[in-house]
């Protein structure tokens, strides 16, 4: 039998070994928890900084003409295509060929008549400045943020929102797993009963206001044709496959007098970054704040041009507040445009009636 002092020594060393093993396991657990927490925070930060959908790996990517520009879109099924990651286009808005020049004084062809004189039916504005909507499944936080987004548009512009009663056209707003938790995507303009605004479960009021801008027919601010006079696109920092989100549109109608870095439709400086470096900077190389925070003064100006009130702000000029005709815009009976210095009104027979001469 071993002496008592040897037994005591053995038990003491065994206890120390067990304590060391427990300490190592505890440290491993703490370290793993810290890594998981950091990774989770990074994921949330990515969602917030890009404010854009995670790229899909299921849809087929193709090239089509949209508003006169050759663009890359993703086929998401049911005759719908994803453009710039959060704009849903219908197949009627796209074409395999560029649009032909249009003369509003000429009689429309049968194809043009079917498309209400806007080739490819690119944008249908909401009648009476009113977005008609149906609410789908939304958590309480999303409902609150949606109401705030509604308020931001209605308190500053001519836009109104109305829950559907018996209207034949509307957009359905619902929580969706098609987008990341803080993201969203929306149909472009009125698309009959198929329009949707799809929101991640923690989409902010600002993000929702941005998506509602797409429903109103507005594209991203950084795609303006004059943007190179104001910002630099850092192509080397953009995620592969997302370059199309930053390409300029040569035919998009400029609703405001200058580029707006603070627009609700402007990307954040780190949007779709692949390396943590900015994808958009000011001309001096600095990043910026304010994008997608709220409806900016220039957003208000542009929205009220696209959706003017019934009151003519300048009675002496019949063209005051009326936008020029655009090949990327779909028109309905009664819509007014300016063309070659004159006011035109679309008649029920899909012909444009020339009115008074513009003062300017």
Report the chain (360 residues): mean pLDDT per 10 consecutive residues.
52 52 38 26 32 50 87 92 93 82 52 31 79 97 97 96 95 95 94 95 96 95 94 97 90 83 96 96 95 93 86 64 76 78 74 77
Q: What is the pLDDT of residue 271?
A: 94
- Which residues pair with residue 114 across a beta bridge? none
Q: What is the pLDDT of residue 68?
A: 76
Homologous superfamily of the 218-307 domain (CATH) = Collagenase (Catalytic Domain) (3.40.390.10)
| Rounded distance between C-alpha atoms, residue 175 and residue 134, angstroms | 12
Q: What is the pLDDT of residue 263?
A: 96
Q: What is the pLDDT of residue 311?
A: 56
Q: What is the pLDDT of residue 221?
A: 95
Q: What is the pLDDT of residue 57?
A: 41
Q: What is the pLDDT of residue 212?
A: 97
Nearest CA-CA partner of 218 in 141, 296, 164, 288: 296
Coil, strand or helix: which one is 73? strand
Token look-up 């929205």 returns 303
Q: What is the pLDDT of residue 15?
A: 57
**Which pairs with CB-CB distance under 8 Å and at least 24 residues apart come from 45-49?**
47/180, 47/181, 47/182, 47/183, 47/200, 48/182, 49/268, 49/270, 49/271, 49/273
| Rounded distance between C-alpha atoms, residue 56 and residue 86, angstroms | 11
| Rounded distance between C-alpha atoms, residue 174 and residue 16, angstroms | 59
294: its two tokens: 């709220």
Burial class of residue 282 (count of CB atoms within 10 Å of its CB; 0-12, 13-18, 19+): middle
Q: What is the pLDDT of residue 323?
A: 82
Q: What is the pLDDT of residue 17?
A: 52
Indicate which residues carry an active-site annotation.
Answer: 211
> Chain-centre distance of CA 185, in angstroms?
6
User: Hey, where are the domains in the chain?
Assistant: 1-50, 218-307
**95 within 8 A of 64, measured Cβ to Cβ:** yes
Query: Which pairing describes strands 171-175 and 336-339: parallel, antiparallel, or unpaired?
Result: unpaired
- Prediction pTM value: 0.71
């Amino acid at each position: 039998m071993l002496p008592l002092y040897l037994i005591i020594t053995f038990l003491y060393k065994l206890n120390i070994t067990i304590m060391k093993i427990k300490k190592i396991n505890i440290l491993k657990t703490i370290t793993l928890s810290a890594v998981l927490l950091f990774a989770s925070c990074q994921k949330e930060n990515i969602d917030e900084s890009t404010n854009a959908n995670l790229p899909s790996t299921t849809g087929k990517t193709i090239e089509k003409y949209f508003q006169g520009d050759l663009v890359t879109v993703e086929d998401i099924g049911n005759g719908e295509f994803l453009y710039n990651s959060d704009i849903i286009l219908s197949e009627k808005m796209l074409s395999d060929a560029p649009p032909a020049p249009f003369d509003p004084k000429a009689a429309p062809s049968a194809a043009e008549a079917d498309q209400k004189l806007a080739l490819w039916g690119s944008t249908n504005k909401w009648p009476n400045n009113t977005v008609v909507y149906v609410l789908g499944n939304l958590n309480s936080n999303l409902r609150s943020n949606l109401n705030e987004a509604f308020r931001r548009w209605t308190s500053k512009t001519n836009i109104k929102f109305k829950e559907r009663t018996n209207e034949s056209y509307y957009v359905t707003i619902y929580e969706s797993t098609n987008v990341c938790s803080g993201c969203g995507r929306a149909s472009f303009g009125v698309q009959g009963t198929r329009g949707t605004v799809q929101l991640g479960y923690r989409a902010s009021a600002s993000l929702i206001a941005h998506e509602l801008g797409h429903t109103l027919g507005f594209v991203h601010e950084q795609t303006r044709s004059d943007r190179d006079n104001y910002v630099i696109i850092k192509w080397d920092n953009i995620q592969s496959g997302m370059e199309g989100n930053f390409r300029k549109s040569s035919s998009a109608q400029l609703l405001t007098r200058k580029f707006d870095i603070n627009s609700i439709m402007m990307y954040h400086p780190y949007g779709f970054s692949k390396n943590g470096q900015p994808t958009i900077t000011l001309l001096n190389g600095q990043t910026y704040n304010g994008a997608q925070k709220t409806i900016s003064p220039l957003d208000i100006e542009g929205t009220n041009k696209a959706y003017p009130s019934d009151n003519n702000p300048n009675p002496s000029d019949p063209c005051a507040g009326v936008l020029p005709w655009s090949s990327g815009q779909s028109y309905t009976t009664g819509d007014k445009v300016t063309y070659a210095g004159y006011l035109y009104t679309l008649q029920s027979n899909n012909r444009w009636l020339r009115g008074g001469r513009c003062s300017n």
